[in-house]
Chains A and B, each alone.
Chain A
Amino acid sequence: MSLTAGADLAAGSADSGATGEQAAGLYRDAFRRLRRSPTAIVGAALVALFVFVAVFAPLLAPYSPTAVDLTDIRPGVFPGPSAEHPLGLDQLGRDELSRIIYGARYSLLIGIVSLSLGAVVGLALGLLAGAFGGWVDGLVMRLVDIMLAVPSLLLAIGVAALLGPRLLSVMIAIAVVNVPIFARLLRGSMLAQRRSDYALAARSLGVTRGRIVLQHVFPNSLAPVIVQGTLALATAIIEAAGLAFLGLGSADPAIPEWGRMLAETNAFLASAPLLALWPGLAIVLSVMGFYLLGEALREALDPKLRR
């Protein structure tokens, strides 16, 4: 996702003059470096797999993720992997593979919605602070400081507990955690760009302040935001799983959220340890995908590392 966003942005800003050339060059360069980085390839592959599974879940899942069938279930005894059910059955006789597949959907959905919400609000605040500076900057940044002072998972738990057990409250909770991060990042990046030579040049040519900010400084400040976005998706998946694990996910326990599936297996770890392995593995792999990709992007987009 971030890859294409970067490419679009590069294409879009290509015709906006000298600064655009510079940006386009950065992204084109970054892309070239990404293709050569094994970290990026592994990350991108994992992310692609995750997104593919999430999008095509109804086609990929062999069974309904919520179809309860207690026929073969006994206390502490769940049929393990078989030809019909490659990952076995869970404690209510549901197909574990189908639940893991559908779980990707909820993780991706929560990740994207919460990230978008958090990024939009965070970027708006960052833009405000970065563009105006002065007392606006002071006010916004103090607000951000307050939010950053509370540990992120604690903040998310607080918000989720306040809004009640719903999928939407998980999304909002994680979005709230992302707001200060994006705000701070964009502001810092913009402050650096505002003092750059091309901004000064534009100003000396009589370009208005708004135009400089929106068309020159903002696009050029986005590189770290893209990196952060990728990393934030990983964090969002972990936090969504964490909240679900703590019982703050959706009110419907039948919804196959990975975190909740992991929490449920806790009671029968001794008799069916594999049931804890699958959602755990799913969380680890998807999170690792986004982290690796994010790391590779960070390196690729770092101007200091350009050769």
Chain B
Amino acid sequence: MHNLRRQSFPRRGALALGLAGLLVGTAACGGNSEDTGRDTGSAAQTGGTLVFGTSSDPVSMDGAYVSDGESLRVVRQLFETLVTTVPGGTEIEPLLATEYEPSNDGKTWTFTLRKGVKFHDGTAFDAKAVCFNFDRWYNFKGVQQSASVSYYWQTVFSGYANNEDPSLGQSLYQNCEVKGDQAVINLTSSSASFLSGLALASFSIASPTALQKFEADKVTGTGKEPRFEGTFGTKNPVGTGPFKLETFEPNNRLVLARFEDYWGDKAKLDKVILKPIADGPARRQALESGDIQGYDLVAPGDLTALRGAGFQILERPAFNVGYVGFNTAKAPLDNPKIRQAVAHALNREALVRAKYPPGAEVAKQFMPPSLFGYAKDVQAYPYDVAKAKALIAESGVTNPTVEFWYPTGVSRPYMPDPAANFQAFSADLTAAGFTVVPKSAPWNPDYLNTVDTGGTGLRLLGWTGDFGDPDNFIGTFFRTKQPAWGPLEESIYADLEAARSEPDEDKRTDLYEAVNKKIMAFLPGVPYVHTKPALAFAKGVQGYVPSPVSIEDFSKVSLPS
């Protein structure tokens, strides 16, 4: 949860410098990149190799087993899903399925499959292959069932054929039927987020032959430390994607090569090399020196300099939220006036302007404005120290003291520098009359565990959306009772459950708007930012379309001639 395994970009490498930082400082400032591209006016060409800087190697290239951004990035190039999102958006469009149709009760989905599609190993893609994959996920056993291994199956489908942990709940998936060139998926209940969920790379259709041959289901170890014994996810991932795996040298490079028998427009690039560079500043330097032609998650402070040096900055639409969460079970946060006082005390505008890249917005609710169900008129809590003080006085709490938690050793798109956010907000709270007790812990696992077990008072956290549905934001936070948030107004839980199972899109929109207003009136936390994560590319690299949910593929990318 909390993007626990998704796109973890620790900055621990940054700590290794010690006093050397003093010396490096002067050297680094002089080393601005010289302009590499001479003339980029000419048309892009087909062919060539793109070297892209990533923050780490993939955990596995078997989509079913991963939920972190770096693994999913690779899976996206090698595999395809039944449906996907429109480039740069969250609406669903066909991919391996050319048509999809739910039954009236929303429980039966018929997918008409694309013809003439082949897996990298020559196996034909058909309804049997689709059902084979779904049945494989549904029948996961042992370690495969742990949340850290099949996270997204649990997110979308809850349970398995035989739940080994009774808390998992009934599976949404019932079965899959082969009907000619159609695959019919039966669900146990109607779910509004099912189709959006299928666009996740974790539901990529893999070659059944390869899955069996390379023992994809051979997983040992524990949920915390799973060991993938088969070679499907490490050496032999076989999908229908525009690229196939050429070589994977851990800690060095992962080479993707064009799949010549791809059913659609073949990849423009001959090869894509993904080069893991854990340290953020080192990725920037690699781009500046020409070692790589692009990288992900550019630090907000680097944007201006990179733009000035002639690099292209591509921004993903804001599809995340950074928030200060309250645990309403902990005094004085059980007091609504105190929660409101905190909201009025925080100068969110100043922080977003100072610490986030241009284009970041001050958040007013717990989901991004681009999603349906975003309410226009929720209760607002503008920065107002006097009002915060008055609310504290009204609350009856004298000398309110709050434990304020922030994570260390991590940088998230919605929280590039947690300690800076903490210090700014902490100073705001102190100014309004709060006594702040600073608390910190390393992000994973200490911080997230403390949050999940309700150990924090105020906390800095956030969320990046996985798919375009409000349930993926406010549903994740507030649909079930969670120790992290403490007790909320009872009707919020029920309203969110009702909104999730409502099949009618317009009614769902209304339901979510209503519950967003309710949430912001109750105030379980203070959302403060929606930011746009950025990628950087060298001059002349064309065709990369940033996506709010990171569904991005390299097949349309081309290099300057």
Is B439 within 8 A of A273, CB to CB?
no
The residue from B21, B32, B427 contacting A266, defined by CB atoms under 8 A apart: B21
Q: What 0/1 pattern do residues 103 to 125 of A give for CB contact below 8 A with B?
A: 00000000000000000000000
Which residues between 27 and 64 of chain B lie within 8 Å of chain A, taking CB atoms? 28-29, 32
* Alpha-carbon separation in the docked complex, A266 to B19 (Å): 11
* Alpha-carbon separation in the docked complex, A122 to B480 (Å): 56
The answer to the question of A155 belonging to the interface, with a C-beta cut-off of 8 Å to chain B, is no
In angstroms, how far is the closest chain A Cβ from the Cβ of B458?
14
Query: Of B113-121, B346-354, B372-380, which binds chain A?
Result: B346-354
* Chain B hits for A269, CB < 8 A: 21, 24-25, 28-29, 281
* Alpha-carbon separation in the docked complex, A263 to B22 (Å): 10
Is B281 within 8 A of A270, CB to CB?
yes
In angstroms, how far is the closest chain B Cβ from the Cβ of A192?
36
Is B28 within 8 A of A76, CB to CB?
no
* Chain B hits for A93, CB < 8 A: 354
* Chain B hits for A271, CB < 8 A: 29, 301-302, 305
* Chain B hits for A230, CB < 8 A: none
Is B19 within 8 A of A262, CB to CB?
yes
* Chain B hits for A242, CB < 8 A: 18
Is A267 within 8 A of B299, CB to CB?
yes
* Chain A hits for B440, CB < 8 A: 165, 251, 253
Q: What 0/1 pattern do residues 152 to 169 of A give for CB contact below 8 A with B?
A: 000000000000010000
* Alpha-carbon separation in the docked complex, A66 to B424 (Å): 10
* Alpha-carbon separation in the docked complex, A276 to B19 (Å): 9
The answer to the question of B355 belonging to the interface, with a C-beta cut-off of 8 Å to chain A, is yes
* Alpha-carbon separation in the docked complex, A10 to B15 (Å): 46
The residue from A75, A245, A265, A274 contacting B354, defined by CB atoms under 8 A apart: A75
Which residues between 400 and 444 of chain B lie within 8 Å of chain A, taking CB atoms? 406, 408-409, 417, 419-420, 422-424, 426-428, 438-440
Is A70 within 8 A of B438, CB to CB?
no
The answer to the question of A208 belonging to the interface, with a C-beta cut-off of 8 Å to chain B, is no
* Chain B hits for A66, CB < 8 A: 427
* Alpha-carbon separation in the docked complex, A252 to B419 (Å): 9
Is A247 within 8 A of B15, CB to CB?
yes
Which residues between 29 and 88 of chain A lie within 8 Å of chain B, taking CB atoms? 66-68, 70-71, 73-77
Q: A247-B15, A251-B439, A283-B19 are in contact. Are A74 and B29 (CB under 8 A)?
A: no
Is A267 within 8 A of B354, CB to CB?
no
The answer to the question of A188 belonging to the interface, with a C-beta cut-off of 8 Å to chain B, is no
The residue from A245, A274, A281 contacting B15, defined by CB atoms under 8 A apart: A245
The answer to the question of B304 belonging to the interface, with a C-beta cut-off of 8 Å to chain A, is yes
The answer to the question of B498 belonging to the interface, with a C-beta cut-off of 8 Å to chain A, is no
The residue from A70, A262, A277 contacting B351, defined by CB atoms under 8 A apart: A70
Is B350 within 8 A of A71, CB to CB?
yes
The residue from A71, A74, A253, A276 contacting B21, defined by CB atoms under 8 A apart: A276
The answer to the question of A136 belonging to the interface, with a C-beta cut-off of 8 Å to chain B, is no
In angstroms, how far is the closest chain B Cβ from the Cβ of A307?
38
* Alpha-carbon separation in the docked complex, A267 to B410 (Å): 12
Is B281 within 8 A of A267, CB to CB?
yes
Is B423 within 8 A of A253, CB to CB?
yes
* Alpha-carbon separation in the docked complex, A165 to B405 (Å): 13
Is A75 within 8 A of B19, CB to CB?
no
Is B427 within 8 A of A67, CB to CB?
yes
The 6 closest A-B pairs by CB, nearest first: A76-B301, A280-B22, A273-B25, A75-B300, A68-B427, A70-B354
Q: Beyond A75-B304, A276-B25: 6 further Cβ-contacts under 8 Å?
A: A70-B347, A76-B300, A92-B427, A246-B15, A271-B301, A277-B26
Instruction: Report which B residues bind A (CB closer than 8 A).
Output: 11, 14-15, 17-19, 21-22, 24-26, 28-29, 32, 280-281, 284, 299-305, 347, 350-351, 353-357, 406, 408-409, 417, 419-420, 422-424, 426-428, 438-440
Q: What are 21 inter-chain pairs, A to B, with CB distance below 8 A?
A: A67-B427, A70-B351, A71-B350, A75-B300, A75-B304, A75-B354, A92-B424, A165-B440, A241-B19, A247-B15, A253-B440, A254-B423, A254-B426, A265-B21, A266-B14, A267-B280, A269-B28, A269-B29, A273-B28, A276-B24, A277-B25
